[in-house]
Structure 1
């Protein structure tokens, strides 16, 4: 692969503008959404941009603990061979919380001959975007980030507990959803988060106190480039985690850290533009029915939801989030201005119509979510799939034409995903194989542990 001149010009200007940067984190996002890579010194950056950087193939075949999964076909069956990482344009940014000062850049993996590596999740999403472009459709959108802030040390019962207010050490005693006093109490944390996001060019917007003590939501500005929106989410999670750690807290991206409290989602807002940038989902004022393209896209998402659930809920803990009436959807339902459904058309100007896909937990990989959602939308539009009637504020309980295709738990989701031609097409054969192998390895790992509930129920 030849030098990418434009990217090197960008990096050269960055280094000139930041002479205090001593090192750069190169960050590859694996199948579980975990950032892995190396920290290189400043003098190595030019070679990264002109020659790429070797990383082992096994880095895409790791489970959530960072151990090899041989069944991915990415470890010893290929000699743990080197691949070549190339920087992603526009992602070289400061890490303003570091001293000595470092920067970071996201990378994607390629074969040594320059072909995109099929097990890289970002390439899977890019392939779905390219497929849409052939039909003159260009996805735009943004992800929302829900998470908990926890104390660095567990509570007296050995379990995690919500972090004390950074301002005065006060403890959360109530849910206080949308509570402004709770946000004010965390301003010593969130103020620096916004400053760091600005330094990284992340379009961070609204802050919300969510539906549990210690739970928050950060939203990002809607991007015309959905792939860059996924990059935003990857970078924001790394930023929030690092800033929390430096303030004696833990940013928790588990889907369900507390049994009696709301889980944390990663909602994806998505629309489609034409070549001129006009929203293909827009409607005329006073329209009785949604735009047909929008309706068929929803139909495709509903019809493929069962096959895609492993991408939206990839871990054992992910499935604990789907508890009715705690703002996590449990059926492949849709509706307008209705938060009980999985596929929501938010209120707002009819020219700005979009889908809010509410299935994914915050523990999901945004590239896998994006690839699966776009593939479902394409299928719905290609086959003019009817999603059935709107849920009419009964999204937690209403039966739908596609409900029977939904897996009931993590094990069933893995089995359904393994046999799904849809998911294989959405992710590509290589990533589908490696992702399933990783999930199966994690399933066996979890099954090998005896949880406390077993002793409580069965010991005596």
Structure 2
């Protein structure tokens, strides 16, 4: 059977010929929560994967964050938990850095047995939005930013997580070492391995900075003309950071808000549209301050943000990130060169004009985020939506108008379930799957008795 993903056995054979040392491969399918699920196969099995795909249970796309079945997705016993076929994603067959024995990795996408895309696979949702824009002669380009914490493996005396000591000499800082270059030197061996791994995998990892909290860092990725590949980059880079941190004796944390008194971690998406000639369609013409197409795109993103927040903030912890003056947006505002808004138009040359979409936490699924953002942009262009006045100065004091964000996770779930826009953006099946998974996770959290309950109520009520 010819691979419906476009992968070929020749790609596998060329890789095997170039890497005789590799003995096994991680084959990774990304679920609705952004969790990589799959298997480790032996070297001799790789060619077969490219020739005929790999059977995997349909239920793998109906799991919650703990790996438990969510029966309300309809992907478990309603279908008898039958097998579908996962196929390699072209260009994602790469070596893994520092493994012993040597291993490789390839990302997968799920298809039906006849080759049709499995509609609850998040990557297919993004591919569908890319294809819809292509019908308009537009091609989305972009890149994600990756913020994360490096934490010690041991908790502090109060049982809470704490920033990792430097892997170079164990020195620990409790300061907000934002933009400190000297502070980065203590993590130099770890970041050197991250960059080496990224280079081996063809991932354009660039600048690293010490971010706005103790133990928090950011890695940027270079712009891709293919936003699907940009999302693949983010998935692969997270796996690299997690693996290399573990090898250096620390924990890479991709929770949106791991430490309550400090800023959370975002996953900002920079996005623009290229026309048929490869030129930036968001570039303003002489006499324009900003292009009309860019303004309509901003209008669509602002208008659809409230009902889309479950995609951008999918977990209970995600909602702890949205605190005023914490560099996380709290209203669907936009502005130029302003980090207090949700939709930022960065300063720079007109030929590089783009939107920085800032609501998403680093715990979000990049395929779902990008699919929803592209659908919002398309809505704004189709309906010629006005984004309203630009927010200048302190965006945290701006009036959010009639499009205020949901107050909490439960409200976001209800808004997502009722959203015709999100149903179209993700597709009916994935919309049902995603909302069912989030609803099940909400009930799990709601019925859990935790330490805060005891602290507040044990001796008081």
Please report how far the alpha carbon of residue 288 of structure 1 lies from its aligned counterpart in structure 2 after TM superposition: 5.0
Paired with 2:288 and 2:158, the residues of 1 have a C-alpha distance of: 55
Please report how far the alpha carbon of residue 57 of structure 1 lies from its aligned counterpart in structure 2 after TM superposition: 0.2
Report the TM-score, using the length of structure 2 for normalisation.
0.98
Corresponding residue number in structure 2 for 1:108: 109
Corresponding residue number in structure 1 for 2:451: 452
Corresponding residue number in structure 2 for 1:378: 378
Corresponding residue number in structure 1 for 2:344: 344
Per-residue CA deviation, residues 418-439 of structure 1 (Å, 9 max, x unaligned), is 0100000000000000101100
Q: Please tell me whether the aligned partners of residues 7 and 89 of structure 2 are also in contact (alpha carbons under 8 angstroms).
A: no
Per-residue CA deviation, residues 254-301 of structure 1 (Å, 9 max, x unaligned), is 00001100000000000000111100001246x453100000000000
Q: Please tell me whether the aligned partners of residues 388 and 400 of structure 1 are also in contact (alpha carbons under 8 angstroms).
A: no
- Aligned residue for 1:54, secondary structure, equals strand
Confirm or deny that 1:427 pairs with 2:426.
yes
After superposition, residues 23-422 of structure 1 pair within 5 angstroms as 23-284=24-285, 287-404=287-404, 406-422=405-421
Paired with 1:305 and 1:97, the residues of 2 have a C-alpha distance of: 41
Please report how far the alpha carbon of residue 166 of structure 1 lies from its aligned counterpart in structure 2 after TM superposition: 1.2
Paired with 2:213 and 2:250, the residues of 1 have a C-alpha distance of: 17
- Aligned residue for 1:403, secondary structure, equals coil
Structure 1 runs of 4+ with >4 Å offset: 3-6
Please report how far the alpha carbon of residue 401 of structure 1 lies from its aligned counterpart in structure 2 after TM superposition: 3.4
Q: Please tell me whether the aligned partners of residues 24 and 40 of structure 1 are also in contact (alpha carbons under 8 angstroms).
A: yes
Paired with 1:224 and 1:175, the residues of 2 have a C-alpha distance of: 35
Q: Please tell me whether the aligned partners of residues 332 and 402 of structure 1 are also in contact (alpha carbons under 8 angstroms).
A: no
Q: Please tell me whether the aligned partners of residues 108 and 120 of structure 1 are also in contact (alpha carbons under 8 angstroms).
A: yes
Count of residue pairs brought into register by the alignment: 458
Per-residue CA deviation, residues 427-459 of structure 1 (Å, 9 max, x unaligned), is 000000010110011000001112333333333
Paired with 1:327 and 1:60, the residues of 2 have a C-alpha distance of: 33
Which runs of 5 or more structure 1 residues have no equivalent in the other structure?
A: none
Per-residue CA deviation, residues 169-203 of structure 1 (Å, 9 max, x unaligned), is 11113102100011111101101110111011110
Q: Please tell me whether the aligned partners of residues 7 and 50 of structure 2 are also in contact (alpha carbons under 8 angstroms).
A: no
Please report how far the alpha carbon of residue 6 of structure 1 lies from its aligned counterpart in structure 2 after TM superposition: 5.5
Q: Which moved more, 1:387-396 or 1:226-235?
A: 387-396
CA RMSD of aligned residues (A): 1.1
Q: Please tell me whether the aligned partners of residues 303 and 402 of structure 1 are also in contact (alpha carbons under 8 angstroms).
A: no
Which runs of 5 or more structure 2 residues have no equivalent in the other structure?
A: none
Q: Please tell me whether the aligned partners of residues 22 and 42 of structure 1 are also in contact (alpha carbons under 8 angstroms).
A: yes
